[in-house]
Structure formats: structure tokens, C-alpha cells
Chain A
Amino acid sequence: MTPLTEQDLAEAIAMSSGPLSIQGGGTRPIGKPVTGTLLETKGLDGITLYEPGSLTLVVQSGTPVTKVEEALAAEGQRLAFEPMDHRVLLGTTGEPTMGGIAAANVSGPRRIQVGAARDFMLGVRFVDGMGNIVKNGGRVMKNVTGYDLVKLMAGSYGTLGVLSEVSFKVLPVAERQLTLTLHGQNTKEAVASISKAMGSPFEVTGAAHLGGTTHLRIEGTEASTAYRCERLVSLLSGEIVVNQDQSAQTELWRGIRNVQPLAGFDTVWRVSMTPSRAPDFLEMLQREHEIEVLMDWAGGLLWIGSKADPQPLHEKLQREIYNYGGGHVTLVKAALKDRTRLSVFQPEPRAIAALTNGLRARFDPKGILNPGLMS
């Protein structure tokens, strides 16, 4: 099914009795595989409103991300939360949609400075599992009118409702970026350097580490980036290479954003945790497992790739995270059979599961919206 209007979408859902597999561009097959009738949002395509002077954008959920990025670029603006393009890592094809970004709360390296997709989402319209059209939030930057269902929809992977429209806050593109690179660091040294930089007033907008190399990005005007760079260089000890090449840096950060370095791995996990605990956590894992790691978000986001049988490592990750300050582990990439048998999302404590299951039961009493996907 490919409804062309919100009304059609509502009718399609109201009439469905069996499971629906909800799809935007189909580029992010994250979660337990869902068998059901395909319900695509790509018919809901278009920018409803874009006001550069108010930093607001309203789009239909099936609108391709590239279309939005082009419109924003023409006004010198962007989606500041730098949404990852999962096609690189997952080897998928198709066109990522704005609804997909919202439903999966997809953010990139700049998340540490500006916030995640959920922080930029100003409003939603969606259809719940009974076919009711619901709106929440709006198109203004500050809004506390009633409960914030916008946040609840962000990252609920279509299990509470199918998004039809989303409004976003957008921001101006920075004039220039500079990347400071430190070579020959282990993860402990990397997190220490990053933490020093993040604790300074110089507004680091990207902090990643891979294969012994640490990258720190700053953005702003010519004068400001030069100044901040100089201050950071004197703050951090060790040899620092400053990359000034704008397009090379764009490539570098796009690669980090898209987790490109792990594209060759069959199994990839995404771990959200306390940054300073990450080095010990990784050391513990590396004692017994051969893994490749991309560290983003100042150490608070780990992408872990493995070529071995995923089960033992998967179970260890989801268990051990509690001994390292808490967090959550998601199996983002794995063979179909592994995604089916393993708990893709971090299992929730009983009392939390009661709430999330309760919410699903209320928003989707027929149990037809991507059933089981988040288990």
C-alpha cells in the first residue's frame, strides 16, 4: 500500500486487521524483521512549508532527505543534527525519507553539540493503529502545550503510529570547519583528550576516534575557527595536525556519520554509554573478542563491528553495559536469522517494559504497526 494523502493513510490503517510493515525509503531495516503487508510512506512527498527566517521546515513524512537538503542548502541552512545515511553501513538501496529519520531518531556527530533529531523535531502528525489522525507539537520553536508526543514518536520506529508530517527546526550552515587530528592515541588517551576539549568553551561539534586517530571538529567563521583551533592546540598536549581542506573534512565527517569504516562487517552494534567508561568497557571486550570500533559522540557512542558468530558477544554487550555505567546496545546490522533470534534492542527492565507495552497497546490496540520490531 502506498497512500498518497494522510486521509488515505488513515483509511488504510483503519481497515487493516493484519500486521503492517511500515517503510519510508527502506534504507534502515533496523529491528526485528516484521512480516506483514507493506505500507509505504513515499507517496506522502513534499515540503509543506519552509521559512528560513523562522528556522522552520514542515515536510511530509515520505519526502526524500536529499530533496530537503537541497532546499535548505539553497538558503545556507541545514539539518544540524547531521542524520546518518544508513545505506553505507547496511548496504541498502533506496531513498532515505524524513519520516524515517524521525521514526528512528537518527543523528550524527554534531549531536554532542546541538542535540539529536528528537531535539530538532517541533511537531508531528501521525496516524495511530486505529486509523485516528493525531497531531502534537507544531511548527514553533517553543511549545509546552500538553504532553510531548513528538519525543515519544521519535525513536518509536512506527510502533505507535505512522508519521504523516514532521516539522523540524533548521540551522544555518557554518562558514567554515576545522578538524584537529591526534595520531597514535589509544581509547583511554582519546577519551581524555576529547573530554578536555569538550570541557572547554570552544564548542567542539564533532569528536570521534578510530584506529588510533582522534578527530575534533570546530565550526564557525574564519576568525572564530582560527582562534578556537589555536586555543585547543595549546590546551591539548601531543602532536596535532590541523586539517583546513573543506571538502576533505566534509568527506571525513560524512564517513564517520555513516559509520563507513565498519561497512565491511557482517555484524555491527550501536552502544550508547557514559563516555569515560567506554575505554574500560572496550578493553574488557577486546580481551576475548576480535572487534573493530568507531567511537563517536565524544566516546558516548560506540559502533562495534565483528565477523564472528554474534550471539556470545551480543549477550555480553547487553549484559555488561550495566556494569559500566548503564546505557543501551542495539544490534543494528546482522544476518536475518540473528536479528530474528536475538533481542535487537536493549531489553527493558520489567517496570519500563510495562509502560512501553502499555503505550503500544493504547496507540495500537490491534497490534498491527510493525509488531515486535522493537523487541
Chain B
Amino acid sequence: MEMPIPDEGIIARKERIVQRLQSVIPHDAVIHDPAETRAYECDALTAYRCPPLCAVLPSTTEEVAAVLRVCFEERVPVVPRGSGTSLAGGALPTADAVILGVSRLNQVIETNYDDRYIRVQTGRTNLSVTGAVEADGFFYAPDPSSQLACAIAGNIGMNSGGAHCLKYGVTTNNLMGVRMVTMEGEILDIGGTYVDAGGMDLLGVICGSEGQLGVVTEATLRILPKPEGALPVLIGYDSNEVAGECVSDIIKSGILPVAIEFMDRPCIEATEAFAKAGYPMCEALLIIEVEGSPAEIREQLDKIKAIALRHNPVEFREARDADQAARIWLGRKSAFGAMGQINDYMCLDGTIPVSELPYVLRRIGEMSKEYGLGVGNVFHAGDGNMHPLILYNANKPGDLEKCEAFGADILRLCVEVGGCLTGEHGVGIEKRDLMTAQFAEADLEAQMAVKDVFDPRWLLNPAKVFPLASSEQRRIAAE
């Protein structure tokens, strides 16, 4: 993956830049020893690494502003970082960049159950937001699988989703306001403890902007009362087509499950070998979860069952209690880990119209043979967000490149059938150079115009999202 050539002038000024940073935040909050900056050399896209010039860990919004003012004056690129779990290389630094980590900004500022929101500093982890309100019967809905580690900062950066977003939406649908610092060091409050933007919806464009418009230090999040209960069913089919039809029929019937997850045979086999969840060996497996009181759950499951049986499943398994529910989820939750046992893998994230599911799965199977690389599919079927996992061997020369080429072909296929390159992981560096498959020049220009307005010098996470060739003029002009 190509990255811009680091600015030697900045690297030469490292000492002075570090000193200036230390003059505005505590010494121990500036990490500049090469042995320590390594900790920030990559995110969860570990194939790409580069230690930053230095990393800073401010503890207040004011400190963030002070750091940004220094970097702005010194014209040093800044890469905002939450927990570094991005799968797209969103938090990957360059050698001339300062990593600005928000991990020390991890406090709950206010919880308000009457108005159903929580205000937190964005370094707080996703799961601990729910943790802060759970005892009072509330939860924060977006639940990425990485929720134990990932921070609200990164969730906002990537507009992250989760298994339950079919019903509750993704981050942007649950975000009411932010406090954000611009590259120039100005502190802005956008949105607040009320719904809907007043004028232009800046909040909407900030969410998902991958750290390119500003550094978000606080967030007001919508919290919801916990449902009375939830139970999943597991349905097995002997073809992807039929499973796809079943999903479509359920959705058309008017039932809105909280989650519809899909696994294909390679994935089922890997999971069984690893987690022994007792899944049936079949071509396609659906896990569908519904919520409500026991009677409401029963009513919905009966309807789902009737639809599922019409399509002749090879297996229909209901959870009667929490224990059985956990067993049904066990395989799905360990799917990534299971695939990791077999080999190194790359996790893709394209979205397709649900109606194209069978066709896309068939094409992926064909391409898998052509490339000679295995692939397992596990994904959110209700909303068409696919996660093909391509298996490769990192120690085998050329395998990573082959895997990336295969991945790019799958993503182009997603776009061809009316979908998109990424449903929840973000563009980062990973899909940056594929953007032209989905967007024409004018589409990218319009997006880059937004960055021009927020960050005229193109210092915030500049080498991400846009193909380097498209952003080059702007990055150079700003230097």
C-alpha cells in the first residue's frame, strides 16, 4: 500500500516539535522514544506499519486544542486515534505524523435517563458506555464486535455498526452531539441534548469522516431502555439462494428482527472445528434474533418459523433459554477467531442489496477457485453488509498481494450490483484506491471540498479515504 513520502523537514524538526508539545501538555503525555512510539505503528490492519514521529495523549479538550495549535503552526500531520482497532488502517500513521490518542479522555460526563442520553469523553470504550447505564436498565445500541476494546472516538470516526443495527441503526443514528476541536485548535459544540440539527447537519458529515475533519473529544449519545428479553433461532438451508429468499420473505412479512446473521459452508466448517457449537453442516445458516416479552418473542418466532419451514430447512433450532441462546450465538461470535485458526485472513466489508445475495455468493465462490484462496462468508444478512474472510498465508511471498487483489475484485463486484465498498469498517488506506470504482471525479471532489472547509491545510489524517492521486494536489498545495 502506497503512502505519501514523509516530509524530511518535519522529521528533522522532531526535537523542537516534541519540546513544543511538552510545553502545552504534561511531559509523560508526549511519547517520542522510538522504542515506545512503536506501540502506535499500526491499528488492526496489521499488514501495514510505520511508527509515528511521536504520540500525544492529552487528558482534556483544552489540551487537545493546545496540541492541535502547535501541530497547525508547525504544519505537522495529525492522526487521531481511539483504540486502534480499525480494520481499514484508519489510525495508521506516517513517519512525519503525530498520533493524537484520546485514550486518557475516558470519563462519563453526565447521564440523563429522563431525556435518555449519556455524555462521555470519546476515549471511553463502547462496551463501557453501556456498562455505565446498564444497572439502570439502559444500553447504548451500536455494538461492534470489537466493543470491548474500541472507543467511541473510533466509532464516530468510522460510523461503526454492529449485529443489532438492523433495528437500532449505526453510530450516526444514535449520536446527538459532539465537542470537536478543529485542526486550528478551535473548540466547537455541534448538536447537543436535543434531536435534529438546527441548520445544516454538520454532525451527520462529521460522523464517519475518519478523523479528517476534526478531533472529537466528547459525545452525546442516545441511550435506550433495555428490551425485556431476546432469543435467537438457528435455521439451516442447503443452498444460499433459499436462505436468501427466506431472509427476504421474513423482512417482507413485517417482522423486524434485531439481527439476521448469515454464515456459509466454509465458515460453518471452520467454526465447528474450532468452537464446536453443534451447528448443522449445510450450505447456509441463518441466526435470527427477536426481542420483547416472552409472549412477544413467541409470537414473532412462530411467524419466522412458519416462513422458514415453507423453504424446507435442513435444520430449525429454537433457543428456549439463555443457555441455548448462548450456544446458538457461540459459533457466530467465534467465526473470526475460527477462521484465524486456519490461516491469516483479510476481512472485507462490502454491502450489497439483499436481493443480490445468491448471485454475489456464487461469484465469490468462483473467484475463490480462480485465485486459489479460500474464503468464508459471515455477515449481517438483514442489511446486506457482507464480511467475506479471505484466507492467505502471510509467510508465503506473494500471497498477501494475491489476497488483496481478490479482495478488491469482491468489492468491485459489490459496487457493480448496486452496493458499496464498505458498510461499517471505513475506507482508511485499505479501500482508498478503490474509491474510483464507486465514485466519479465529481463525487470525490464534493467530498474533498468538505475537508477543504474543515481542514484547509489537509493536516488531519491526510493520506486516508481519498485515492492519493486525487488528493495529491491539495496535500501539496497545503504544505
Residues of A within 8 A of B (CB): 51-56, 75-76, 105, 107, 111-112, 115-116, 118-119, 128, 132-136, 138-152, 154-156, 159-160, 171-175, 195, 198-201, 220-221, 223-224, 227, 272-276, 297, 300-301, 325-328, 330, 345-346, 348, 351-352, 355-356, 358-359, 362-363, 374
Contacts and interface: CB of A to CB of B under 8 A. Distances in A.
Nearest to B419: A140
B186 interface: yes
B32 interface: no
A116 B222 CA distance: 14
Interface in B367-405: 380, 382-385
B353 A56 contact: yes
Contact of B195 (A195, A297, A352): A297
Nearest to B411: A145
A142 B168 CA distance: 12
B199 A348 contact: yes
Interface string B410-430: 000000001111111111000
B194 interface: yes
Interface stretch (B111-119, B233-241, B340-348): B111-119
A136 B165 CA distance: 21
B447 interface: yes
B24 interface: no
Interface in B195-243: 195-205, 207-209, 225-228
Nearest to A197: B225
Contact of A327 (B192, B248, B253, B450): B192
18 contacts: A54-B384, A112-B195, A115-B169, A140-B383, A142-B384, A144-B422, A145-B420, A149-B450, A156-B201, A172-B252, A172-B253, A274-B194, A276-B115, A326-B194, A352-B190, A355-B454, A359-B200, A362-B449
Contact of A363 (B202, B439, B446): B446
Contacts of B418: 138-140
A330 B196 CA distance: 12
Interface of B: 112-116, 137-138, 158-159, 161, 165-166, 169-170, 172-173, 182, 186, 188, 190, 192-205, 207-209, 225-228, 248-249, 251-256, 292-293, 295-296, 299, 351-355, 380, 382-385, 418-427, 431, 435, 438-440, 442-447, 449-454, 465
A346 B198 contact: yes
Given A148-B207, A355-B453, A272 B198 contact: yes
Contacts of B355: 51, 53-54
Given A141-B351, A142-B380, A325-B192, A105 B447 contact: no
A18 B334 CA distance: 61
Nearest to A140: B351
A155 B203 CA distance: 12
Contact of B204 (A75, A154, A220): A154
7 A-B pairs with least C-beta separation: A151-B204, A328-B198, A53-B248, A172-B254, A142-B423, A141-B383, A358-B453
Contacts of A198: 116, 225
Given A224-B299, A355-B453, A151 B442 contact: no
A134 B449 CA distance: 12
Contacts of B158: 144
A335 to B, nearest CB: 22
A112 to B, nearest CB: 8
Contacts of A363: 446, 449
Contact of B419 (A138, A172, A301, A326): A138
Given A54-B251, A140-B353, A145-B427, A134 B419 contact: no
A199 B116 contact: yes
A326 B418 CA distance: 41
Given A145-B435, A199-B138, 16 more contacts: A54-B248, A128-B446, A140-B351, A141-B166, A141-B384, A142-B383, A146-B427, A147-B205, A148-B207, A149-B450, A155-B200, A223-B295, A227-B293, A276-B115, A297-B195, A300-B195
A51 B450 CA distance: 32
Contacts of B444: 146
Nearest to A141: B383
B349 to A, nearest CB: 9
Nearest to B357: A54
Contact of B202 (A115, A272, A328, A352): A352
A346 B385 CA distance: 38
B161, B200, B351, most chain A CB atoms within 10 A: B200
A374 B201 CA distance: 13
B384 to A, nearest CB: 5
A355 B79 CA distance: 21
Nearest to B418: A139
A128 B383 CA distance: 30
A272 B203 CA distance: 16
A172 B419 CA distance: 22
Contact of B228 (A201, A345, A374): A201
B115 A51 contact: no
B198 A143 contact: no
Contacts of A115: 169, 173
Given A118-B201, A151-B172, A352-B202, A141 B385 contact: yes
A75, A355, A358, A374, most chain B CB atoms within 10 A: A355
A152 B205 contact: yes
A53 B252 contact: yes
A346 B199 contact: yes
B366 to A, nearest CB: 22
Contacts of A76: 254
Contacts of A359: 200, 449-450, 453
A138, A173, A195, A330, most chain B CB atoms within 10 A: A138
A239 to B, nearest CB: 23
